[in-house]
Amino acid sequence: MHRILVGCLLHTAASERLHEHAQVLSGAGSGGDFLGLLPEADGVVVGEQRLGPAEMDLGQRLRVIGRHGVGIDNVDLEAASERSIPVVYTPDGPTESTAEHALMLMLAVARRLPQFDRAVRDDNFSIQRQFEFFGRELRGKALGVVGLGRIGQRVAEMCRAALEMEVAVYDPFRDPADVAGCGAICVDNLVELARGVDVLTIHVPLSKETFHLIDREVIRAMRPGGILISIARGPVVDEQALIEALQDGHLYGAGLDVFDPEPPSPDNPLLGMDNVVLTPHVGSFTDEGRRLMGLTVVEDVLRVLQGERPHYPANPEVWE
């Protein structure tokens, strides 16, 4: 029976499926010895663990790497391909959950949800009579989407249909005709996109090209009083530039599910800001989303170990 090392929390349905067909080695949690168990594993399912050349060389039996999630920046694809190790991931799994989370953050920032929640808990109903706490409607506002992948496309669809927002997109890898087909305007310059929108939402993977893609120039180009939503990877945004724009009032607020680094340090100014809504990298944390992600990665890991081509290869050249 194949041995599969699991370094993340799997949904019960996925865990049961895995136990039916393999011996499961647990490398998750405080008691898990992920690196120590790597030499015993035929396959591995990782969450946020880093798998580079050194880790792969520890796993001399490794025949497949499964990434429980859509981002694969923590797995060195080049190193895996050099070792003829297929990498599989779950591009469809977190789409709906993460898109809904992005929409929730937009609404929470626009309507000052943290302040009102705290006011009720503190028996401060008089806050409803203070003009400085008025929120904002999103209906009819301009939305800028950076990255029109599965999640970005779903966010655009939600905002256009539910809030009648005008949607503009920056994605140099998408055909303008495809963008137009989604009911959005294609903008080929990121700074120009920022200048024309009230809300900027980010849905790109982390890579050398996207590190600090949302830099000081982009943030300052946003309309005064704009809202920034970051739900992809923390380093995509220049966090210091964002903090400055929030502190001096250039931005109305921000909704953040990701940080640089994670978790944020206790002295991070974002933690003390009333105009920022923060969540701990839980965009995909719904029962439905985690179930789909877990089953997707488990099924593909098992396919590879059975000599079958996976449905979602991240390095398909290994199969050529």
Q: Which residues are catalytic?
A: 233, 262, 281
Q: What span, in angstroms and rounded, lies between the C-alpha atoms of 243 and 230?
A: 13
> Angle, nearest 10°, between helix axes 95-110 and 150-163?
50
Decide if 235 contacts 211 (C-beta within 8 A). yes
Distances in Å between the Cα of 156 and the Cα atoms of 96, 164, 283, 290 are 12, 10, 16, 22
Decide if 74 contacts 48 (C-beta within 8 A). yes
One DSSP character per residue, 232-274 reads S-GGGB-HHHHHHHHHTTSEEEEEES--SSSSPPTT-GGGG-T
Q: How many residues does the chain have?
A: 320
Per-residue tokens: 217: 């120039």
Under DSSP, the state recorded for 309 is P
H or E element that contains 278: strand 276-278
Query: In angstroms, how far is the first alpha carbon of the chain from the final one?
Result: 27
According to DSSP, the β-strands at 142-146 and 166-170 are parallel
Read off φ and ψ for residue 134, nearest 5 degrees. Answer: -60, 140
